[in-house]
Amino acid sequence: MTLHLQEKPAVRRRDLTLEALRTLVNRALATRTECEGIHIRRIIVTEPDASGCNWEVEWPVFRPANTDPCHSQMRELIAHLRLRFNVGR
């Protein structure tokens, strides 16, 4: 019996400038009615994590951003965008 290990394809993220990424995050966030008025003011560039993403957001302190349904919507949105984009260096 032959066993073949399948390699996972590397995730290719599109590189954006820090400002372009922040604009993209906020435009995507604006489509979530549960998060009306919430904006991400700061994106922090980090070393790539285990998935290869090199950024994270500074979570807003505005109360709706930290309670559901907005909190879960933001968490899902940010996770999705972290899979697709990186900050170009």
pLDDT tens sequence across 60-84: 877 777 788 989 999 999 999 999 9
The mean pLDDT value for 9-20 works out to 86
Q: Is residue 46 part of a domain?
A: yes
Residue-level pLDDT at 51 = 93
Please state which of the ranges 12-21, 32-41, 60-69 shows the lowest mean pLDDT. Answer: 60-69
Range of the domain at 73: 14-87
Q: Is the dihedral of CA 31, 77, 66, 39 positive or negative?
A: negative
In a domain, 8, yes or no: no
Dihedral sign, CA of 39, 20, 83, 49? negative
At 7 the pLDDT is 46
Answer whether residue 9 is part of any domain: no
Would residue 1 count as lying in a domain? no
d(CA 53, CA 25): 15
User: Which pLDDT band, with edges at 50, 70 and 90, does 25 fall under?
Assistant: very high
Confidence at residue 9, expressed as pLDDT on a 0 to 100 scale: 46
7 located within any domain: no
Residue 4 lies in a domain: no
Q: Confidence band (pLDDT; 50, 70, 90) for 11?
A: low
| Within a domain: 5 | no
Report the relative pairing of strands 85-87 and 14-16 from DSSP bridges. Answer: parallel
Are 65 and 26 in contact, with CB atoms under 8 Å apart?
no
Total number of domains in the chain: 1
Give the phi and the psi of residue 76 in degrees, each rounded to 5: -65, -45
